[in-house]
Each structure stands twice: as C-alpha cells, then as structure tokens.
Amino acid sequence: MSTVAGQTLDVASQFPVLERKGLHYLDTAATAQKPLAVIEAMDDLLRHHNASIHRGVYPLAVEATDLFEGARDRAAAWLGSTSRETIFTKNATEAINLVAHAWGGANLREGDLVVLTQMEHHSNIVPWQLACQAAGAELAYVPIDEEGELVLDALDPLLERGPKLVGVVHASNVLGTINPVEEIVRRAHAAGAAVLVDGTQAVPQLPVDLRAIDADFYVWTAHKAYGPTGLGILHGRAEVLEAMPPFLGGGHMIASVDWQVSRYAELPHKYEAGTSPIAEAVGMGAAVAWLQDLGMERVRAHEHELVAYALERLAGVPCLRVFGPPTADRRGAVVSFALEGVHPHDVAEILARDGVCVRAGHHCAQPLMRVLGVPATTRASFAVHNSRDDVDALIDGLHRVREVFA
Ligand SMILES: Cc1ncc(COP(=O)(O)O)c(C=O)c1O
C-alpha cells in the first residue's frame, strides 16, 4: 500500500498476476497488467453474451452489440470525444497507419512537409515515412534539448514552411517527457497543419481532455491502459474522418456494394472493416470504468510520487545516467537510465534474477537513441499497483549489478 499526498491507492490485490511471489513489475509502458475487473468482463462476455455484433436480431447478438457499443461510448465520454469519432483498430500502430495511409494518401502531395519530433515511437515515424515516400513529401523533426524536452523554438521555422501535418507524442515512452500538446496543436493549427497526437502512454497515466487538446487525431492502445491486447483507439474529428477515404475494405464498413463500386458506412463503422474485436472492446470498456473509479487525478498523483521517489533514489546510484526531464513534474511514469560500463540488457537480466521486471533496448525509438548517444537504455515504468517497495527493489538490484560488474 502506498500513501500519496493524503490519498491512498491500494489496488495491487486486484491484479491476479501480482500474487506471484517476489514480482516487481516495472514494465507497464510495454504492457499493463490486467485487473480482475477486466478479466471478469471479458470472461462474462465470452461465457454469457458471445455472438457476432451489429447484424444479429436475437437477444444474444443484441446483448453483445450493446456491450461492444457501450465500451465505445464509455471510452469516448471518458476522454471528451464522441462515439462517432471513436474508431477501433488493432492497436495504436494500426491507428496511426490508418491516418497516414487514408488521410496521407488523400492530402499529401509532392513537396509537402510532415513534421514529427525526435522522441516519436517507431509507430509514429515509419507510417509517415511510407506516406511521404508515396507522395514525394518531406519529413522533418523537432529536436529535443539536453533535458529531453522538445525545443519548441525550432517548431516555428518548420511551421512557417506550412506543413500539412504535425505528429507528436503526448508522453514519451523513453524519456517520460510530457509534451505541451495543447500549445503545439494551437500553433500547428494557426499554421494550417493537421495534428496527430500519440497518446499511447498518456492515456493510462494522465487526465486527458480531448476537447482541450483539440487535435485532429488522437490515438492510444488498450493494453497499456489495463485493457487487453488487440484493440487500439483512434479519435478523429468527424469532418476530417468523413472526408477521408476508408483504410481497409470488406464487410461491415459498407452501406451497399455493387460490382464496381461501394458506398461506405457512416462513422465510425466506415473505418472498421471485418468482424470487430468484441471481447477486447468489452475488456477495454471495463478498464476505462475501472480507471474512472480510481480517478485519473489520483492515478497521476500516485505515479508522480513514485517517479519522484525513484529519481531521488536513482541519483544515489553511482555512475548512473538518467535520461529525460530532471523532475517528476515534467514526466510521466517512465524512467530510462544507463549504468556506465554495463550493457542495458545485462542490467535487465540481473534485475530479473530478483524479480524486478524492466525493459532494455531501444524501446522502438532508434533515432532517439542516436540523439541520446546510446544504443539502448534500461527502462523502469510505473503503474497504479506499484509502491515504494518496487522502487527499493530496483535500487537494491542496481547496486547488485554494480557489484557483479565491479
Ligand atoms: C508512445 C508509443 N506509441 C505507440 C506505441 C505502439 O503501441 P502498440 O504496439 O499497442 O500499437 C507504443 C508502444 O510501446 C508507445 O509507447
């Protein structure tokens, strides 16, 4: 149990996997563990309400459809979007590919500019490379400074060139940096650019209000937000989604089909070809309900306190370099570091011997690794179920790593 500025989050017992003895799960940025509420909601759907959705008229199909669409309604309302503007994909990666392919195909032309940042995940780089290569458009990147924050002054000259789109991560999966996305959207819109925000790490960590952010596209993924794998979410502005061509063709995304042409379904179904991930959506809806019960302000306060404590304790480990902003205020629940003279994979392996689960590697951000001047980092990421005990286990483990490599 951990106490946070007068508040208490005591939820570890709600995660069945954490019953494993001696487990310190610090890899939520890769995928979150699942609370019982999510597991039970999916189990209930599969046991008692399973049917193909939207087409069936019998009670089972109506129940499954209501549960599926109810999950969409809940996610949309939670973040300040609408159900029409909330599209289900396979994951965040597919959501960005949808935008890059469908919107990019319709809007990018030779000589156009797309602006990203140096701290993007490969998911928000490679789809734009493909789109820019297809159109003959150019990609440019907003740099980061020594503390792992975006150099916003460098955005101005890029915006003066009239980019078609700006893509920015809300909270970095490597540096932890929380980007001022409202300001970036405002400035990009003033320059006539559309904006895509990658909220994959932000949605499970921060209160997010899509109305305030006002991006044209905002994406996230259920499995990092305590839901199941297999479901990504794209929130888009209705008029933009209506103007775009579909991404994938097939069943469900049509209004009518003839031999040569088809008419497409209304939003959001226009972008949901094929049988939907029904149990996954229901699990995501349960995860959202569970997070709503906790309250995202409390989630943020809990993880902020843990990150502050982790930064303080990591500062006491000799020869250790922490990447990203120096204070927890400017960070999400992710801390990447490097121990001088020890490969990040060796660090992670020795930590694993003591049950400390961290991630080592480039974290799907190879260009960022080059900016940081390292091939890889070790990353600890925090969740609602973590406590100071987990941080202490990490620090003890790092001291042991140093002994092994002394
Ligand atoms: C910032 C960020 N964007 C996108 C992704 C891709 O998420 P998914 O693999 O669920 O598509 C990740 C996953 O690590 C991420 O951290």
CATH number at residue 301: 3.90.1150.10
Residue 112 pLDDT more than 90?
Answer: yes
Query: What is the number of domains present in the chain?
Result: 2
* Shared domain check, 64 and 175: yes
Q: Nearest CA to 86 among 249, 199, 205?
A: 199
* Shared domain check, 264 and 174: yes
Ligand 1 midpoint to CA 223 (Å): 10
Ligand 1 midpoint to CA 296 (Å): 20
Residue 261 pLDDT more than 60?
Answer: yes
Ligand 1 midpoint to CA 364 (Å): 8
Helix ranges (H only) for 12-84 are 36-48, 59-79
- Whole-angstrom distance, CA of residue 239 vs CA of residue 317: 52
DSSP type of residue 343 = -
Q: Nearest CA to 325 among 119, 149, 142, 174?
A: 149
Helix ranges (H only) for 295-365 are 296-314, 344-353
Return the percentage of the chain with pLDDT > 90, whole number.
97
Residue 339 pLDDT more than 90?
Answer: yes
Q: Using the Cα atoms of residue 365, residue 366, residue 371 and residue 377 in order, give the sign of their dihedral.
A: positive
Residue ending a domain, choose from 270, 292, 314: 292
Residue 201 pLDDT more than 90?
Answer: yes
* Shared domain check, 211 and 199: yes
* Shared domain check, 254 and 311: no
Residue ending a domain, choose from 259, 292, 325: 292
Residue 5 pLDDT more than 80?
Answer: no
- Looking from the CA of residue 173, the nearest atom of ligand 1 is 16
* Shared domain check, 188 and 80: yes
* Shared domain check, 21 and 52: no
* Shared domain check, 275 and 287: yes
- pLDDT average, residue stretch 363-372: 98
* Shared domain check, 199 and 54: yes
Give the number of other Cβ atoms within 10 Å of residue 293's Cβ: 10
Q: Give the per-residue pLDDT at 179.
A: 98
- pLDDT average, residue stretch 201-205: 98
Ligand 1 midpoint to CA 219 (Å): 10
- State which of 88, 93, 220, 368 you would mutate to test the pocket of ligand 1, scoring each by most atoms of that ligand within 8 A of its C-beta: 93
Mean pLDDT for the chain overall: 97
Q: Residue 392: CB partners within 8 Å, gap ≥ 6?
A: 313
Domain of residue 138 covers 39-292
Catalytic, 132? Answer no
* Shared domain check, 270 and 302: no
* Shared domain check, 183 and 65: yes
Q: How confident is the model at residue 126 (pLDDT cuts 50, 70, 90)?
A: very high
* Shared domain check, 367 and 230: no
Q: Give the per-residue pLDDT at 8.
A: 67
* Shared domain check, 278 and 397: no
- pLDDT average, residue stretch 149-164: 98
- Looking from the CA of residue 363, the nearest atom of ligand 1 is 14
- Whole-angstrom distance, CA of residue 356 vs CA of residue 20: 12
3-state secondary structure of 115: strand
Q: Nearest CA to 124 among 199, 28, 232?
A: 199
Q: Which of 132, 319, 357, 364 is catalytic?
A: 364
Give the number of other Cβ atoms within 10 Å of residue 25's Cβ: 22
- Looking from the CA of residue 198, the nearest atom of ligand 1 is 3
Q: Using the Cα atoms of residue 262, residue 268, residue 272 and residue 278 in order, give the sign of their dihedral.
A: negative
Residue ending a domain, choose from 233, 265, 292: 292
Ligand 1 midpoint to CA 10 (Å): 27
Helix ranges (H only) for 191-295 are 202-205, 210-213, 238-243, 278-294
- State which of 27, 90, 94, 121 you would mutate to test the pocket of ligand 1, scoring each by most atoms of that ligand within 8 A of its C-beta: 121
Q: Which residue's CA is the closest to the ligand 1 atom numbered 12?
A: 200
Binding-site residues, ligand 1, Cβ < 6 A: 91-93, 121, 123, 169, 173, 198, 200-201, 221, 232, 364
